[in-house]
Structure 1
Amino acid sequence: MSADPVLSGPQVRTRAAILAATASVLADDRSATLPDIARAAGVGRTTVHRYFNDRESLVREATSDAVRILEAVLEGAGVDDGPAVDAMRRVIAAMVAIGDRIVFLFGDPRVMESLRPHQQPNGDVLVTRLIERGQRDGTFDSELPALWIKHALWSLVLRGCQDVRNGDLPTYAVTAAIIRTFEHGVGQRI
């Protein structure tokens, strides 16, 4: 759609369904077609074209939408609230809960590379801030670089979300496994 028109409630829901389906379908198959995406969204191809001019604009909007949702769930997880260990557990659970979008964004490095500098997720800053806070209070190993801990976290979350998508593990098991692996891997040794 051009020039950001005001959408009705049903139009907002349809657009959101198309964006969610795009993230889900492309997380599985980066070469999926517009008809594949339309089918997953439960709409016709012409409906997709009413909202998005072409596949490129749809993927671009789905990427921006996924980044926005990631940032919202990270902010909603209360990164600055309570002990760092509790905040990190909430962050991990929040990221796993949006697994399709995590796999869509991070399963193919080209997706994140396609973002303009002003679109880069602020969530990365929130996670780094939490890790550094945990290092200062002794929750996370201060001898490891915060960048390394962040990369380990994102890798665990991506792999866990892929395992959920593949049907290898249920969401609750993946969340618990990521938390346990992360805490035992970067927690301070007692």
Structure 2
Amino acid sequence: MALPASAKPLRADTRRTVRTILEAAERVLSANPAATVEQIAEAAGVARTTVHRRFASREALISALAAWATQRFHEAVEAARPRTAPPAVALYQVTVNVLRVKTGWGFAMGALPTDAPEVAEVHADVLHQCAQLFTRLRDAGLLAPDTDLDWAQRVYYALIHEAADKAPETDAALDALATRVVDTLLHGLGAPATA
């Protein structure tokens, strides 16, 4: 969770409590977007006063949840090493990592305040890394030399968005879904040309 520069760092036990509350909030709000703070506290196994001590209001909790998801999203892209890993490996890893965040933090990702400066900064960096990765994919011959990279990226984002609706329940299902997204991007849906 991002804290203001003036805030002192949280103790380890407090960080764990905050994470437990945020994870519970994601589960509860995904099932019922109108859920109360009391329902979230119950799911987290903490008192309502504990939630209110950490988050001044339900809106503040949702804002913190969105900030948490934004950070997970950024970390997911960074962990794939899109600037340095072999391009095909990076594309697959970015895909599986982002799908994991989008399916695991669906409510929070939908609650992202797109006008918040920290969210805009993260998204700008992710878009920049993706643009670099797509250039590397083209340079490696995985995309045609005349590929419109902006269009290819928009198609990729649409594929990710649609795939995230599938919410795979196992790592194997997530891997298969990521493979399908990458295969669709790189090879399309048409039948291979015959010689």
Q: TM-score range by the shorter chain?
A: 0.7 to 0.9
CA-to-partner distance for each residue in 1:113-152, whole Å, 9 max, x for gaps? Answer: 2x42343122222122211221233212454433332232
Q: Can you give the 5+ residue segments of structure 1 that lack an aligned partner in the other structure?
A: none
Q: Which amino acid aligns with 2:119?
A: Q
Deviation string, structure 1 residues 85-134 (Cα, Å, up to 9, x no partner)? 11101111111222222x2355x4x6342x42343122222122211221
**What aligned pairs does 1:1-190 form with structure 2 within 5 A after superposition?**
4-98=7-101, 99-101=103-105, 103-106=106-109, 108=110, 111-113=112-114, 115-120=115-120, 121=122, 122-164=125-167, 170-185=173-188
Equivalent residues of 1:35, 1:45 under 8 A apart = yes
3-state SS, counterpart of residue 170 of structure 1: helix
In structure 2, C-alpha distance between the alignment counterparts of 1:160 and 1:150, rounded to whole Å? 15
**TM-score of the superposition, structure 1-length normalised?**
0.78
Amino acid at match of 1:162: D
Query: Counterpart of 1:156 in 2: which secondary structure?
Result: helix
1:30-76 deviation per Cα after TM superposition (whole angstroms, max 9, x unaligned): 33322333233332322211110001111111111111111112111
Where 2:104 maps in the other structure, the secondary structure is helix
Q: Give the paired residue count.
A: 183
When the two chains are superposed, the root-mean-square deviation of aligned CA atoms in Å is 3.0
Higher mean Cα deviation, 170-179 or 23-32? 23-32
Amino acid at match of 1:42: G
If you compute each CA radius of gyration, which structure gives the higher value, 1 or 2?
Answer: 2
Shift of 1:165: 6.0
1:111 alignment partner AA: L
Identity %: 23
CA displacement 1:132-187 (0-9 Å, x = unmatched): 221233212454433332232223223323212689x932332232222222239x
